[in-house]
Structure 1
Amino acid sequence: MPYAAEGRLSHDPIEGGIEITEQQYRQGLNGVLAGEHVQIVGGAFFVGPLPVVEPEPEPEPTPDEIKAQRLEQNNSAYEAATGALTADYPQLEKDTWPTQDAESSAWLLDPLGASTPWIDRAAAVRGLDREEYLRRTLVKARQFVIMSAWLTGRRQGYEDAIKDGGDPVLDYQLPVEVLLELQAVQQTVMAAPTAQLREALA
């Protein structure tokens, strides 16, 4: 006497299975070969496709969860935008930026007497005039301040809106007026006479 259980056929007793006829056994074998499944439905033998079980619907997020998701998306977009500002620089070079900034700032205050040993060496190895290197450093430092301040203010503004229940469209693309300001900084720093540079950047 053949037997059947969920997904199984046998001529030997199956724990938890039921007795079936030889005809049902052959039907079951043919069904399995055709990709169907042996099932016991209400204690009765059945061969057919597995029933499609609809997944449980995801619970609707709470207002607090929605707010948390939007805050996380805002922070992620901000990190991507700010990360792009320094993405082309290796970490070791970024670690030297405070030194470069301090030396270029000292030179801006005292072009004749400032000590700039790090920049002096880097400029010599690179094959650049010392003042050229200092001016380029000033440009990058001033531009970074402008861009990071704009991006940070943008993030904080979005955060305020989200906390107030809003759903702002996140846009961290620098606007035209900021791009023009960056260009003006470069032109001023690179073109102004050394004696007038500090005043020009005030």
Structure 2
Amino acid sequence: MDISYYDKFSKVYDWLSPKWYYHNARNHAIQQLRLKPGQTVLNIPCGTGQNFEYFQEYLKGTGSIIGIDLSEGMLEKAKDKKAAKEWQNIQIYREDATQVDTNWMINNFPLSTKVDAILCDLGLSGFPQWEMVIDNMLELLKPDGVLVIMDWYLPIPSLRGEFIKWIGGGEVNRPIYQYLANKVSDFSVNTSFNRGGVFVAAGIKK
């Protein structure tokens, strides 16, 4: 993964991927998290922080939002959003997604090493070790915690798929939600977003 690309991309990300473009998928994804005031949600990768205001609709400024990304450029935009709204319940970290496991949580959150919900959006199509990242996220969930994944899936080669790969720097044909289906209970998937190119998959930790 070329992090320098995402650092540069961050300067135009909110313009090339405005709120309206992913709103329906993002809104559905965050509904599936079933967040309640006081809970802890992990967002990886958090990108420019576009999810923060959606989380706050449920958390009402309580609990904890943990945003993680490897791109410093993306994180600077996320920090700007946090500062502009004066949100006090958001903690932002620069970290490789493959390193965010139980040991990482122990080092950073020794009093509470499990989270209530995790949203991984538009990341697994770019992470080289995407299966490991899914396994690590499931490990971090509390019993009956919810994992939601939102990403692209275009299994048939097309110009659209090539364009999305070029813009986002990832792969759009990975069987991400199929892998998740075998790891969770109460699995569900909606593949209708963005003209059938974006899916939202959810499941509860077994």
For the superposition of Structure 1 and Structure 2, which TM-score range results when normalised by the shorter chain? under 0.3
Which has the larger strand fraction?
2
Which has the larger helix fraction?
1
Q: More relative contact order in 1 or in 2 (CA 8 Å, sep 6+)?
A: 2
Higher CA-based Rg: 1
Taking structure 2 as the reference length, what is the TM-score of the superposition? 0.24
